[in-house]
Amino acid sequence: MRALIPVAGEGTRLQPHTHTHPKPLLNVAGKPIISHIMDIILYAGVDDIVFITGYLGEKLERYLRKSYDIPMTFIKQEERLGIAHAVYMAKEHIRGEPVFIVLGDTIFDADVKSVFEGGKNALGVREVKNPSRFGIVVVENGRVVELTEKPEKPRSNLAIAGLYNIVETDLLLDSIEMLIKKDIRTKGEYQITDALQEMVNRGSHIETFFLEGWYDCGNAQSMLNTNRSLLDRNGSFILGRLNETVIIDPVAIADGSVIERSIIGPFVTVGGGTVIRDSRIRDAVIGREAELDNVILEQSLVGHNATLTGRFVRLNVGDSSELEIG
């Protein structure tokens, strides 16, 4: 089974962290966002992946090639023209066979192996309270009849969660080609919702499958929420060295980290090579090779190689920052 993963976005709502790292490489609950996705789809049977890259794509490619021994193709999207355009860029690699499309910042819980085995066009969906923020589907008698991108007056609360199992791949590509040739854009981009609506208009049968979990990583607060949810689901793993330190589960402490005379947790992720001394940290994501001394942190994101010294704060600190908190 082949997967297609668009990962070209800049992740502007997660700055300053995305100044130096592509969003899919940001750490949450012990590993990068993209690794959460890879672990799920590889387990389900994906054995070949096409990535549509853009911003800092070289860093992402290096990480993936080092971490996963499967066939991978990387295509650079020079202009950010929407998800449909990203899919169309891979046409030579996906035409004529089923493809599973998953957005590169979508962490999810779903039985995608059963979706593959079902052999049908199917979209991952989740009920939401604020449907006007999402692409929305209307379903009648088990069949998608309408798709709208961020409608002002939504007719449904079923949000498209960024997972698309497509068996009529040629029809999807033809529908995207029609959008591009006629320059049909929604909110300035070629939307995959519009392409799927064209498929429906041409008689395609598209179903939905529900996600058991859907974890947003769009901004700092949602990253912290996702870190909490995934640690709560997965439990603790502690690979670093602890000295006179109290752990309050759940936490994820990477190999090579050193924590001394501190209280860590709950809901804390610590990257490899990080050193923490005389600190109290809860509800936080700390990057790799950081150094924290005598700080009290909560609800904080701290980037790789950052140095913090001081007292109680809530922070969103990018890579290689140095803060002395008096």
Least confident piece of the model among 66-70, 169-173, 285-289, 304-308? 304-308
Task: Give the pLDDT score at 10.
Answer: 72
Domain spans of the chain, in order of start: 2-215, 236-324
Q: Compute the distance between CA of residue 134 and CA of residue 106 in angstroms, rounded to an integer.
A: 13
- Please state the separation of Cα 90 from the chain's center in Å: 20
Asked if residue 263 has pLDDT above 60, the reply is yes
Task: Give the pLDDT score at 220.
Answer: 86
What mean pLDDT value characterizes the chain? 91
**Residue range 185-229, pLDDT digits in tens:** 988 999 999 999 999 999 999 999 999 999 988 888 889 999 999
pLDDT band at 322; cut points 50, 70, 90: very low
Burial (CB count within 10 angstroms: exposed 0-12, middle 13-18, buried 19+), residue 111:
middle
pLDDT band at 124; cut points 50, 70, 90: very high
| CATH class of the structural domain 236-324 | mainly beta
Task: Give the pLDDT score at 144.
Answer: 96
Which CATH number describes the domain made up of 2-215?
A: 3.90.550.10
- Please state the separation of Cα 160 from the chain's center in Å: 14
Q: Choose between 322 and 38: higher pLDDT.
A: 38
Prediction pTM value: 0.89
